[in-house]
Chain A
Amino acid sequence: MFILSFLRALGRYLQLMGRTFAVPERWRMFLRSYLREMAQLGVDSIGIVLLISFFIGAVICIQIKLNIQSAWMPLWVSGYVTREIMLLEFSSSIMCLILAGKVGSNIASELGTMRTSQQIDALEIMGVNPASFLILPKIAGLVTMIPLLVIFSTVAGFVGAYATAYVGHIITPSDLTAGLQHDFTQWFFWMGVIKSLFFAFIISSVSAFFGYTVEGGSQEVGKASTNAVVSSSMLILFSDLFLTQLLS
């Protein structure tokens, strides 16, 4: 029963994506929506990304220094581990899990409300492809903005780590700098960016699917919003497993 309903939902999702990836009817209108979505989904998320990344960077640095580091480990190990965790997992995967909550619920509730208030029907009657008109700019906007958010997150994490050095005096700034620079592999940065592009697609398309296919009233919009966040998060976790294996 579960498999059947999963396959049915997958089929509907693929059909929706088929309609979404159509050439926009008016490029001018598409660009306008694309810029608006970049601002709404990406720029408006910078604050929360910076805040969370700053504190996580600081906490990782403190935890490694106080609980992991020992006399037989080099002094730069806290900075090194902070950098690797931020680059490899936090700034791409965990940050996208957080964004699935913020951006995913935003997309699902916006489209769900448009569906229940017949705005999507109105577009269809006008001869507009609603899936392409509404969903494509969201996917394109988030996929465009996510690498920037990954970079901001990583930098904010490092700033947080430096805060523990300069303000908390947990570690010396020179040890931290040595750790952050030690044995740097550029591919780890690109790995994070590539993973985040997949996650951005998952967040925007899955949330759009749940919002677009809402049937009923405001209660169903709320359910769709929750389902969008839960499903996006699950898919991010699963795909993180495969992508990490594939890209490492």
Chain B
Amino acid sequence: MIQLEKLSKSFADKDVLHGIDSTFSSGNCNLIIGRSGSGKTVLMKCIVGLFEPTGGRVLYDGRDFCRMSKRERTMLRREMGMIFQNAALFDSMTVLENVMFPLDMFSADSYKDRRRRAEFCLDRVGLADALQKFPGEISGGMQKRVAIARAIALKPKYLFCDEPNSGLDPKTSLVIDELIYGITKETGTVTVMNTHDMNSVLGIGDHILFIHQGDKEWEGTKDEVLGSDNRRLSDFIFASDFLKKVRDAGRAQAAT
């Protein structure tokens, strides 16, 4: 479980996050949504420790990340996996070497076992036949799948995904969502995902945190999100004409 308590962040004289409170529980896909510039990437970076929060606390199963020593942070980070917006694969390594990298760094297993684990992870994301390819030789969707395999190689307790669907077509996005959702349910990780993809919100949002201009505006589940009467959330959700039509059709059907 990850708890955010009054988390705030400022840059010079600009306040980006204002006292965010939330709880992300295990085995759930926790989605942070909001418009571009609302502060969701800053929030994600504060949670994983790439930015130091100006105020408040981030608790990992009760352990305060902000008060940890450098060594404790390093140890905690080994329990984290992260999928970056642009996959962030190491260009000079093959797909297999990318997935084996965290295992090579931190696992005490033999080479054979480490390789077996990496191959298992790549098989799990459907890339068992791309082991020797370099990141530049595979598509964006495949790169994201390699990033997922690398993130889960060390069986993390906490999985973070920064806009994993950006730049992907809807069908590939669905594949990525299903993978993240499936892995979360199988392994019971605390998954925190930053997105503005409505398909992800409605498909895998066990817990949704809506951020507006650095404030927590709304919190709920995917079943509650469409029926919410929060105006800002509605403006965000129904920015797409298609969803608006679906909502209006639903309302019309309910009225008759």
Binding site for B on A (CB under 8 A): 25-26, 28-29, 113, 117-119, 121-122, 124-129
Contacts and interface: CB of A to CB of B under 8 A. Distances in A.
B86 A127 contact: no
B18 to A, nearest CB: 25
B48 interface: yes
Contacts of A117: 86, 88, 91
Contacts of B101: 126
A124 B88 CA distance: 12
A127 B82 contact: no
A118 B105 contact: no
A126 B75 CA distance: 9
Given A126-B78, A127-B75, A127-B77, A121 B105 contact: no
B12 interface: no
Contact of A25 (B76, B88, B105): B105
B84 A122 contact: yes
A122 B105 contact: no
Interface residues of B, number: 22
Given A121-B50, A122-B82, A128 B88 contact: no
Interface string B88-123: 111100000000011011100000000000000000
A113 B78 CA distance: 24
Contacts of B240: none
Contacts of B104: 26, 28-29
Interface of B: 48, 50, 74-78, 80, 82, 84-86, 88-91, 101-102, 104-106, 160
Contacts of B105: 25-26, 29, 126-128
A113 B92 CA distance: 12
Contacts of A126: 77-78, 80, 101-102, 105-106
Contacts of A127: 74-78, 80, 105-106
Contact of B77 (A26, A29, A118, A125): A125
Contacts of B77: 124-127
A118 B78 contact: no
Contacts of B160: 125
A126 B102 CA distance: 7
Nearest to B80: A125
Contacts of B50: 121, 124-125
Which A-B residue pairs are the 8 nearest by beta carbons?
A: A127-B77, A118-B88, A122-B88, A127-B78, A125-B82, A127-B74, A118-B84, A119-B88
Nearest to A121: B50
B74 A118 contact: no
Contacts of B48: 125
B245 to A, nearest CB: 37
15 contacts: A26-B104, A28-B104, A29-B105, A117-B88, A122-B82, A125-B48, A125-B50, A126-B77, A126-B102, A126-B105, A127-B74, A127-B75, A127-B105, A127-B106, A129-B74
Nearest to A133: B105
Contacts of A121: 50, 84, 88
Nearest to A119: B88
Contact of B86 (A26, A118, A124, A128): A118
Contacts of A124: 50, 77
B153 to A, nearest CB: 10
Contacts of B106: 25, 126-127
B67 to A, nearest CB: 18
A28 B89 CA distance: 21
